[in-house]
Chain A
Amino acid sequence: MATLLAFVALVAIVLINVPIGVSLGIVACGAIFLTQGTNALVSVPISLYSGATNFPLIAIPLFILAGAIMNASGISQRLVALAVALVGFVRGALAMVSVGTSLFFAEISGSAVADVAALGSILIPAMRRRGYPKAFAAAVISSSATLAIIIPPSIPMILYAVMSGSSVVQIFVAGIIPGLLGALGFALLSYVFARRYDLPVESRFEFGEVLRTLKEAAWALCLPIIILGTIFGGIVTATEGAAIAVVAALFIGVVVYREFNLANLREALIEGGIQTAVVMLLVAASSLIGIWLTEMRAPQAFAEGIMSLTSNKWAVLALLNLVFLVLGLFLHSAAAVIMIVPIVMPLVHSVGIDPVHLGIVLAINIGIGQQTPPVASVLMATCAIAKANVWEVSRVNVWFVGVLAAILLLCTYVPAVPMFLVNSFYR
């Protein structure tokens, strides 16, 4: 009963636009005060401090910073030029370029909004000039950016790994095949739209042009190899890989391309710091309410309640998908991960779901949530850049969301798809 009241209070406070991190703290304080008295509130500053000192989460500010440095380093233009040289001869090539460059950015930044900011401002105007419908241009940019949270490194995956006690590296590896399938699906769908809208080709394929643009973009192309190679090779942890990403992005921006200045760096540091703090306040506050929920045995009660209905792993996965999708409609991704993972983990362990498998299922659900109003951070960001109506874009975007949904079903019910590489190299 106390848990239910706390949940109702949380929803009410969140709906009056109190920041979700603070809402969690308010409800936790109220619940501790009412059930354990004033003296128990002394655990509040302890939990808020210890919740913010989680070493693996240091990867979050560092990956955000690496992405911001990269965005400010002229890397985007070079990658777009290379992608145009490679696929410019295909009908609707700029849509393919959007998917390809998003895939690349996904391997460095881990943030879908960062991808939209980096690529949308270049590619949406370019597509509009070539006669692409505004809604289609926005939809392809928005959906492709979601690859950032499926392809490693991914900030929601880091959060999930920490909250669930799973291996960050294994979850990263499990995201590779679903991410590539997503990119392939988006490219094929873009081609279908290109035929329907009779979109133009950009240029003939010229090997010399490919070599020239490849030379220009070569340093940028090294970045994911350095970052993911060192992490997957076991040379560094994900956190340390993030620090290497910062150093490599700075080196390429400052020394190689020489398009990075201190004003850009200052803005990137402030933006990265704020984004980190917003996520970390959620994490710290969730540790506060998490302790209270554990004392009330809420996760266990949730697990027992579901298990009394079914203990079938596949049915539970279907139910979890439904819960994640509904949460994704109304919550930002970090908040969704932080609020739901501690509650569902006892159930996940009880029915024998592999936490790494669930991590990918959750990441794809979050990706869908980022594209579906009312709370659709990536779609909103894209519409702001494209100056497009959210609902008009959504009418086209629904097809891209359909691709994500198909991959979600595939990854949920054919675990070999995400788990093949993990089982081959890490188990």
Chain B
Amino acid sequence: MTSIKRGLELLLEWIVIALMVILAITVTAGIAFRAAGAALHWYDEVASILLAWLTYYGAALAALKRAHIGVGEIMHKIPTIPRAFLYAIGECLIIGFFVVVIWMSMRLYGALEGVMLVSLPWMPERFVQSVVPIGAALFILAELLSIPEGWRALAKPAAPHIDELAPDSV
């Protein structure tokens, strides 16, 4: 279990690193080429796609590290048995939501057959949008693998160490 979790964490970390680097390079190249008078017509569409990919692969990594923004203050204060019951309901809701996302994505992708990107006509839209069901599946896996950590975090009082804070980036 621990090795599967560590393997998934490493995989997602490298995907996120690659996407961050490619995104930064793409936007920088877009500025440089425009300044040189040879604007890249594909740059804003590709950068937006990279952001979507970063969103869903990063969201799975954040789920694995239990770093999503939530409100745990009430759960910290209630007794163990009702807390366990509510925690189980919460996990079922999360997994159920992403199952629906995968199910609906499968229904949608038939309709996307033959649809290509506007700026890169050789790139299938189905490939680009596959990030949603793949990200949903990874989120479910990450959620299942980190259930013990999530439970332990809820059992602790709300005085987190700096490294354990939800990354409220703003």
Q: List 24 A-B contacts (CB under 8 A).
A: A13-B93, A16-B74, A20-B71, A22-B93, A26-B97, A42-B104, A58-B47, A65-B24, A113-B168, A154-B170, A155-B170, A156-B170, A236-B31, A246-B24, A247-B28, A274-B58, A275-B169, A276-B58, A280-B58, A281-B59, A282-B69, A332-B166, A381-B165, A384-B162
* A49-B129, A52-B52, A274-B16 known; A20-B165 Cβ under 8 A: no
Asked if B5 lies at the interface with its beta carbon under 8 angstroms from chain A, I say no
A244 touches B48 (CB 8 A): no
Asked if B7 lies at the interface with its beta carbon under 8 angstroms from chain A, I say no
What is the interface of chain A, defined by CB distance below 8 A to chain B?
13-22, 25-26, 29, 41-42, 44-46, 48-49, 52-55, 57-58, 60-62, 64-65, 110-114, 116-117, 149, 154-156, 159, 236, 239-240, 242-244, 246-247, 266, 269-282, 284, 330-335, 337, 366, 370, 374-375, 377, 380-381, 383-385, 390
A274 touches B67 (CB 8 A): yes
B30 touches A240 (CB 8 A): yes
A284 touches B90 (CB 8 A): no
With a CB–CB cut-off of 8 A, which chain B residues contact A370?
168
A212-B59 Cα distance, complex, nearest whole Å: 45
* A26-B97, A42-B107, A49-B52 known; A20-B70 Cβ under 8 A: yes
With a CB–CB cut-off of 8 A, which chain B residues contact A112?
170
With a CB–CB cut-off of 8 A, which chain B residues contact A42?
104, 107-108
Q: Using an 8 Å CB-CB cutoff, how does the interface string of B5-21 with A read, 1 for contact, 0 for none?
A: 00000000100110111
A277 touches B104 (CB 8 A): no
A146-B153 Cα distance, complex, nearest whole Å: 27
A116-B48 Cα distance, complex, nearest whole Å: 30
B93 touches A274 (CB 8 A): no
With a CB–CB cut-off of 8 A, which chain B residues contact A53?
48-49, 51-52
Of the listed residues A26, A52, A282, the one surrounded by the most CB atoms of chain B closer than 10 A to its CB is A52
Q: Which of B31, B55, B71, B108 is in CB contact (< 8 Å) with A331?
A: B71
With a CB–CB cut-off of 8 A, which chain A residues contact B30?
240, 243
With a CB–CB cut-off of 8 A, which chain A residues contact B72?
17
What is the size, in residues, of chain B's interface with A at 8 Å between Cβ atoms? 67
Asked if B36 lies at the interface with its beta carbon under 8 angstroms from chain A, I say no
- Chain A, residue nearest B17 (CB): A269
A-B CB pair tally, cutoff 8 Å? 238
A16 touches B87 (CB 8 A): yes
A283-B70 Cα distance, complex, nearest whole Å: 15
Chain B nearest CB from A256 CB (Å) reads 18
- Chain A, residue nearest B91 (CB): A18
With a CB–CB cut-off of 8 A, which chain A residues contact B79?
none
Given pairs A52-B56, A243-B27, 8 additional interface contacts (CB within 8 A): A14-B71, A22-B93, A42-B107, A58-B47, A113-B167, A276-B169, A334-B170, A384-B165
- Chain B, residue nearest A21 (CB): B68
Chain B nearest CB from A402 CB (Å) reads 22
With a CB–CB cut-off of 8 A, which chain A residues contact B116?
none
A16-B31 Cα distance, complex, nearest whole Å: 45
Query: Chain A interface mostly helix, strand, loop or mixed?
Result: helix
B71 touches A273 (CB 8 A): no
Chain B nearest CB from A330 CB (Å) reads 7
A122-B90 Cα distance, complex, nearest whole Å: 39
Chain B nearest CB from A203 CB (Å) reads 30
* A42-B108, A155-B170, A377-B168 known; A17-B47 Cβ under 8 A: no
Q: Which of A45, A272, A366 is in CB contact (< 8 Å) with B20?
A: A272
With a CB–CB cut-off of 8 A, which chain A residues contact B107?
42
With a CB–CB cut-off of 8 A, which chain A residues contact B68?
19-22, 278, 281
Of the listed residues A159, A243, A282, A330, the one surrounded by the most CB atoms of chain B closer than 10 A to its CB is A243
With a CB–CB cut-off of 8 A, which chain B residues contact A375?
71, 73
A337-B170 Cα distance, complex, nearest whole Å: 10
- Chain A, residue nearest B29 (CB): A243
With a CB–CB cut-off of 8 A, which chain B residues contact A271?
167
B28 touches A58 (CB 8 A): no
* A58-B23, A61-B51, A275-B169 known; A18-B69 Cβ under 8 A: no
A19 touches B94 (CB 8 A): yes
* A65-B24, A246-B28 known; A333-B52 Cβ under 8 A: no
A272-B55 Cα distance, complex, nearest whole Å: 11
With a CB–CB cut-off of 8 A, which chain A residues contact B70?
14, 17-20
A17 touches B24 (CB 8 A): no
* A18-B94, A61-B23 known; A273-B16 Cβ under 8 A: yes
